[in-house]
Structure 1
Amino acid sequence: MPTTEQKQRGYLHGERNGTITTLIPAPAELAAAEPEVTVHHTADGVAFVRTPEDRFADLPDYPFAPHYAVIDGLQMHYLDEGPRDGEPVLLLHGQPASSYLYRRMVTPLAEAGYRVIAPDLIGFGKSDKPIDLRFHHFERQVALVKAFIQTLGLDAISLFAQDWGSCIGLRIVGDRPDLFARVAISNGQLPVFHPPMFYIPEPVELDPAAPSMLEALGPTVGDPFPVAFQAWINFTLTSPGFDPSRMIAYMCAAGGRPLSEAEIAAYNAPFPSLLFRAGPRAFPSMVNQCGTRNAAAWRGLAGFARPFLHVRGTLDTQFGSQEMQDSMTTIIPGAKGQPHTALEAGHYIQDNKGEELAALLVDFFAANPIAVSPVSRVFGA
């Protein structure tokens, strides 16, 4: 078992476990503590909450009409901007963000003639939010995005993804490379940890005495990725005061563009209380589920010869290094000869440098016209 010192340090040398098991309080108890919130259920019995629409009124720089697809009984919100017959550009966000992260990129891409589709992953943004942390398994999130692509009938896709959007997006590209015409990635990877590398508390128990985000993560600044990420897993799972928007605000400021209070409130709009935060709380621990099926997807990526671009944020201490960029561009054949770029930006590069990043993508698309025919719209496993 890990010692107290190891827990405080963050990198736990105890037994690794792949998934969350016991929750204290249980999801039903958590819901009972907020009786004013309506808990819905899918036909398969998945309990979820839906953020009230008025929470999203007048979000700054987010004038986009909402669209919804129903995936496994859950509403998945997405933006759909630009000409309907334009080449589809799929933008995938990570944790704990939403399509709001892309607000500075959607309009430039749409004005360039692309159909811009930016979903909110299940558990985030305007999408439905299952209340059980155990719902948020990596394989399930991959399946949900695959089903979303099938529901919209997308093919010859140009993908841009970051953070967990990269994990999910690259996995799907590796599984079904035929569906993608171009791929661009920033500040993300497709990890493979087999056996599981990280420790998940058992049980997962809310701790009223949990340290603040800065107290929990501050001592790990400059530490290797496993140390810092273990601390992030611990904090998101056990801190009842975890505020997703403050994490984004902290990282955006570190990247050179502090958020306004209105923007911070917009990032927090999807999560009015703890009951709505199972997705942001659980996502970091999904890294332990990135194993053999991701390794198989890398074999697909190693054969992906269509255009691949990597843009790194130099102020992202974990994912913005030259080594991280090289680790992808030397393996994926389609990366050869592409203008891989570094921007002075942090982890949330879309917020720090949104317009500049959109311009890079427009140039990348124009320099690499689609030379593939649309594939069958029947989406496989």
Structure 2
Amino acid sequence: MQFLTTPEHCFEQITDFCYPPQFLQVDDFEGGSLKLHYVDEGPRDANIVLMLHGEPSWSYLYRKMINPLVSEGYRVIAPDLIGFGKSDKPTERSDYTYQRHLDWVRQVIIQLDLKDITLVCQDWGGLLGLRLVAEHPDVFSRVLAANTMLPTGDHSPNEAFLNWQTFSQQVEVFPVAGVIKGATVTSLSPDVLDAYNAPFPDETYKAGVRQFPLLVPTTPEDPASEANRQAWQILQQFNKPFITAFSDSDPVTAGGDKIMQKLIPGCKGQAHTTIEKGGHFLQEDQGEKLAEVLLNFMNANPL
């Protein structure tokens, strides 16, 4: 598999994300391996919080949440999905599939021997994370879902998603930071926008960014649809603590929280919340508030 590695100098100007980089070698399923970057902060023997990002962000998205959790004694692990952040970026769009992304994140869990995981997932972090919860319910102890869903393609996507999908395929130069800016409700500084652009020096690094919107199951016959249906069968029996913390200004995932609350037994009795003044990337808009919700949730549901 051919891939690119973003030069380290591209990240040198980022001043608000100074965590020592950690790397794993993960199977590329073609006889080689890829380098996957992750943040790993806090005591190694502490309770684990696994934070999964989505499209087109990277672990930088969680910077406002990592320190508050580490300060409370948790170990926070935030991987960069393959094709994003400081992880390697296969150059062919066909290299990216839903199943491969699942297997790459699964390798993080296996190689780091993660157990009793509290999952935090948003956007594609949920499409991957919720599948993995269903496939490995024994290693996940709590879940916080924010602005995400596990679609099966049995229901038509809303107009906001379809517009996004069309834009992502037709725009000549994929504006990574512009996408983040357009899906937040607060003003982002030039430094923050530069940090979101940093992993992608030019268009050749963006095969994964381009392909991700097409991997969302939107028809019943999608390659991932049946597996997601099966995952829902298991999630409808998942009775470990599960909380939704969606934002008030995300047209793409609006209403997904109510579906989860209805179908997932672990949602019963939890302090579900709608975070105000938050766009799709609520970690950027209201990261400190989301960290507070998460800490309260974990304190109310100790392991």
Pick the TM interval, shorter chain: over 0.9
Asked if 2 retains the 8 angstrom alpha-carbon contact of 1:302 and 1:331, the reply is yes
Which amino acid in 1 is paired with 2:283?
Q
TM-superposed deviation, 1:61: 1.4
Residues 1:163 and 1:149: Cα distance change in structure 2 (over 3 Å)? same
- Quote the residue 2:301 is aligned against: 368
Asked if 2 retains the 8 angstrom alpha-carbon contact of 1:108 and 1:358, the reply is yes
Asked if 2 retains the 8 angstrom alpha-carbon contact of 1:61 and 1:104, the reply is no
Is 1:325 aligned to 2:254, yes or no?
no
TM-superposed deviation, 1:229: 2.4
Is 1:68 aligned to 2:23, yes or no?
yes
Q: Secondary structure at the match of 2:153?
A: coil
- Quote the residue 2:292 is aligned against: 359
Which amino acid in 1 is paired with 2:181?
A
Asked if 2 retains the 8 angstrom alpha-carbon contact of 1:92 and 1:118, the reply is yes
- Quote the residue 2:280 is aligned against: 347
Gaps of 5+ in 1: 1-45, 198-224, 371-381
Which of residues 85, 89, 99 in structure 1 aligns to 2:45?
85
Equivalent positions of 1:45-194 (< 5 A) are 46-72=1-27, 73-193=33-153
Is 1:262 aligned to 2:187, yes or no?
no
CA distance in 2, matches of 1:232, 1:367: 37
CA distance in 1, matches of 2:162, 2:247: 22
Deviations 1:13-71 (A, max 9, x none): xxxxxxxxxxxxxxxxxxxxxxxxxxxxxxxxx11000000001131311111000110
TM-score by length of 1: 0.75
Deviations 1:155-210 (A, max 9, x none): 11000000000110001001111110100000000000159x6xxxxxxxxxxxxx
Which amino acid in 2 is paired with 1:356?
K
CA distance in 2, matches of 1:182, 1:305: 9
Deviations 1:123-166 (A, max 9, x none): 00000000111111111111111111101110110000000001
TM-superposed deviation, 1:242: 1.1
Q: Number of matched residues? A: 292
CA distance in 2, matches of 1:60, 1:189: 32
TM-superposed deviation, 1:85: 0.8
Deviations 1:195-254 (A, max 9, x none): 9x6xxxxxxxxxxxxxxxxxxxxxxxxxxx4433233223222323111111101112xx
Which amino acid in 2 is paired with 1:369?
P
Moved over 6 A (4+): none
Which deviates more, 227-236 or 325-334? Answer: 227-236
Gaps of 5+ in 2: 28-32, 218-222
Q: Secondary structure at the match of 1:79?
A: strand
Is 1:309 aligned to 2:243, yes or no?
yes
Equivalent positions of 1:188-207 (< 5 A) are 188-193=148-153
CA distance in 2, matches of 1:64, 1:88: 17
Which deviates more, 235-244 or 276-285? Answer: 235-244
Deviations 1:64-105 (A, max 9, x none): 110001101100000000111110100000000000000100
CA distance in 2, matches of 1:128, 1:248: 21
Identical-residue share of aligned pairs (%) = 42
Q: Secondary structure at the match of 1:55?
A: helix
Which of residues 167, 172, 177 in structure 2 aligns to 1:240?
172
Asked if 2 retains the 8 angstrom alpha-carbon contact of 1:271 and 1:277, the reply is yes
Asked if 2 retains the 8 angstrom alpha-carbon contact of 1:60 and 1:266, the reply is no
